[in-house]
Each structure stands twice: as C-alpha cells, then as structure tokens.
Structure 1
Amino acid sequence: MHQPPNPPTVYSFSTGLSSALTSFIVKAQKESIEKKGRFTVALSGGSLPKQLKGLINNPGVRWDKWQVFYADERVVPLDHPDSNHHLCATEIFQRVPIPPANIHTLDPAFLDDLEELSDAYEKELIREFAQKDSARFPVFDLILLGIGSDGHTCSLFPGHELLVEEDRWVAYLEDSPKPPPKRITFTYPVLNHAARVAFVATGEGKADVLSAILDRPEGGLPASRVRPVHPGQLYWFVDDNASAKLQYPKSSFSA
C-alpha cells in the first residue's frame, strides 16, 4: 500500500533566504554523492537562478558530480534571452567549473519539431537515469522550482490538459498562456518521483497564490499538485513578504 506524501516543509526568511537555500543544496549534493557518486538536479528559470549565486565560488560544491537538467524550457535557441538555459548559464554556469557535458539542454536541431524535441529530451533523461536506476520514472536528487502568480510551475498551467499527463516524462505545449507559447516541460510523474523538490518564492506579489497553494491545496492549482511520493520531500523557501498571508505552519531552518 502506498504511503501518503510527506507534508510540505515551509521555511520563511526575513533575510538570508539565498544563503539557506545554498546550504540546503550543498547538503543534498553531499548526501547524493556519498550514496551514488553523482548529484542529479533540475532547474527552472524566472527569478530562481538569481537565488543560486551562493553556489559560485562555494568550496562545498563539487561541480564535476552534477548532472543538470531543465524542469521546463522555452523552445527558442539556447542563446536566446527567453531561454532558461541562457539565464542559468549567464547567472551561474559560465562562472563555475561545471563540465559542459554535465548540462543537459534541449537539442537545437529539433526546435522546429516539438514532438522530436520532447522525445529527444526524454531520451536524454533515459540515458542518465534508466541505465543507472531501475525506476519507472527518473528519481532526481533535487528539483528546484518557482511559481507564477497564477499558481503555475514548470510549464504546467491552470486548466491545461498536461495536468493529467501520467505516462510521458517530457511533454510539449504550443499554447502557453505566457509567451513564448512553445515550451517543453517535465510532467507530474517526474516531479513527484524526486527525492526532494524545493520551491522558491519571494515578494508580496506571491502572497495570495502561496496561501492558495498551501492553505487550500484542494483548489488544485498546478503547484499544489507537486507532492513527491513517499519518501520524497517537498520544501518551500520563501521570504516573509511572500508568506505574509500564509496560515500553513512554518518550520525553523537549520543547515
């Protein structure tokens, strides 16, 4: 019998969110490398990469052990301003000694064919996970996500048909309500099989949606459907402005 998901852990900060997130990531990395010799992580874009600058020049980060994927990506060239990879590369990866082969991007050869593009990215996941782990879905050590003011996460938007996708690891959409319209995204089976998922949300503009996600999860907003299956853990790193309307209990952070 399946155990229910572990309840989310919420950390709220007046200051020091970025440094706490850095400590959390480095600890997750250490545990993962000790266990299996590598650290698999998926990133999203938006404001998240700016919160990761504490990883630059951090002596605890073993970049050669990282395998980086994108939880969602805009279907644009890799050097385009809308590209999540371009954002992460500019903010972090161009400033750290990570081997380029350890960063798994969209294949630019397939930008004109969304089916081929998403299939190619799923095959990239299969190469990393299926040959090393014998799970039905990839089990990331850590997935780092943001939220939109409408409650979307990755490129999973309210009311979209991808909210009920149960088989594919990677799916595409041509009708994103936010530009650019063409994107690929991890599906819930991938998000919900991760060992750890951490959301990051800051600013008073996120206060209403954060309360909707955590205080009223039955509302079914896309971010509230991210609930890793046991023993996976779900964390929220938020600032006090974002959590101002939150009734859900907050925990004390310790590195």
Structure 2
Amino acid sequence: MASSITKRDHVDSNYKLALDGFLCKVPIPPGQVYGINDALSAEAAADDYETCLKHLVQRNVIATSKTTGFPKFDLMLLGMGPDGHLASLFPGHPLVNEKNKWVTCIKDSPKPPPERITFTFPVINSAAYNAMVVTGEGKASAVCTALGNSQHSETLPAQLLSAEDELTWFLDKSAASNL
C-alpha cells in the first residue's frame, strides 16, 4: 500500500516548515535532525520513527521521564487546529487515548492528508516544556474551550495537553478574542 504521508519537501510538510522557518537558521548539525521516513507506508514510518527514538533514548541522546518512562524532550513546540486537535490527535479519535506507543499513525485523518504520523499524548505530555502557539480568529472558539472558559461538551485534544515542568500558551489577539 502506498502512503499518502506528506513528503518532506511538500509545502504542507511540518518537516519543511520547521526546516525552512527555524532549523536552517540555527547551528544544529543536520545529523541531529530526525525526520519521518516518507518513503514508507504510514504504519511502517511510525514504527521506524519509534525505533529511532528508542535508540536515541538508549544512547542517552534523549532523556527518559522518571515519572512516565516515556522519552522526555526538553521542549515541544505545538500548534492547534480550529477543531482543537494538536499533532495529529483529533477530537473523538481513538488515538487520543493511546497509552503505550510513542509514535503512531492515523489512517483516517479528518484533515488532509488522510494518513499521518504523530507522537502520542504520553510522549507529548512527558516533555519538560510544551509551548502551544495558536493564531487566528478561526481558532478562538477552540482556545476558549481548551482553556476552560466554555461549556463545550466534548473534550478537545488541546485540553489534554500538559508538560512535566511547564506548559505555556502563546496566543495572538484573534485567537484569544473569546477569552
């Protein structure tokens, strides 16, 4: 089965966005940037990336959380969609509840592409620091719900975000307009 994972050089690629917007501007050796293998199927790419992370943890390149046993990244920079999703963890999707895997794939994403690779909440929430950056009026309602100022009945993935040391939300005026 061919994968519809976004290729690294595609305009919608998070890898390309991070590389062009940040990583190419700082002195990080390319050998220390670990991208998803976009030549594999979504399932195989998730397994491959989890294996890569486990090797990095074994070599003490990435620390392990003493609390959770999952990898403990120093910082994760995250964004949120208008529906309250983060990473590729979407409202109402079973992957939100994944407790064992470090990396997984979604094959029925409500947002293109349909197949995506994502960290799971145990990995995301084991980070020392998580920074949620949200911009735009189209996300104001989800921001209001996620930060506890709404009577929304469904729990949004963004509401499940935490960090071992500190979680900080960065909002522009439009995203914060319903608070």
Name the TM-score class by shorter chain: 0.7 to 0.9
1:198 is the counterpart of 2:131: yes
- Helix, strand or coil at the partner of 1:184: strand
Give matches, 1:139-218, under 5 Å. Answer: 139-215=72-148, 216=150
Q: CA shift at 1:96, angstroms? A: 3.7
> TM-score normalised to the size of structure 2?
0.86
Name the one with the larger helix percent.
1
CA contact (8 A) 1:150 1:158 kept: yes
1:101-145 Cα distance to aligned partner (Å, 9 max, x none): 1111012342xx222211110112112224323542000110111
1:122-169 Cα distance to aligned partner (Å, 9 max, x none): 112112224323542000110111111100010000111101100000
Structure 2 gap segments, 5+ residues each: none
CA contact (8 A) 1:172 1:183 kept: yes
CA distance in 2, matches of 1:90, 1:127: 27
CA distance in 1, matches of 2:48, 2:70: 16
- Helix, strand or coil at the partner of 1:108: coil
Q: 1:115/1:203 Cα in 2 relative to 1: closer, same or farther (>3 Å)?
A: closer
CA contact (8 A) 1:118 1:170 kept: yes
> TM-score normalised to the size of structure 1?
0.62
1:121 is the counterpart of 2:22: no
Structure-2 residue corresponding to 1:227: 162
Q: CA shift at 1:238, angstroms? A: 0.8
CA distance in 2, matches of 1:153, 1:134: 22
CA distance in 2, matches of 1:245, 1:100: 41
Which amino acid letter does the alignment assign opposite residue 98 of structure 1?
I
CA contact (8 A) 1:130 1:138 kept: no
Q: CA RMSD in A?
A: 1.9
Q: Which runs of 4+ in 1 moved over 6 A?
A: none
Q: 1:95/1:178 Cα in 2 relative to 1: closer, same or farther (>3 Å)?
A: same
Structure-1 residue corresponding to 2:71: 138
| Equivalent position to 2:33, from 97, 103, 127 | 103
1:169-215 Cα distance to aligned partner (Å, 9 max, x none): 00101111011111000001001111111101122222111001112
Q: CA shift at 1:100, angstroms? A: 0.8
More relative contact order, 1 or 2 (CA 8 Å, 6+ apart): 1
Q: 1:80/1:203 Cα in 2 relative to 1: closer, same or farther (>3 Å)?
A: closer
Which amino acid letter does the alignment assign opposite residue 222 of structure 1?
P
CA contact (8 A) 2:134 2:171 kept: yes
CA distance in 1, matches of 2:119, 2:90: 12
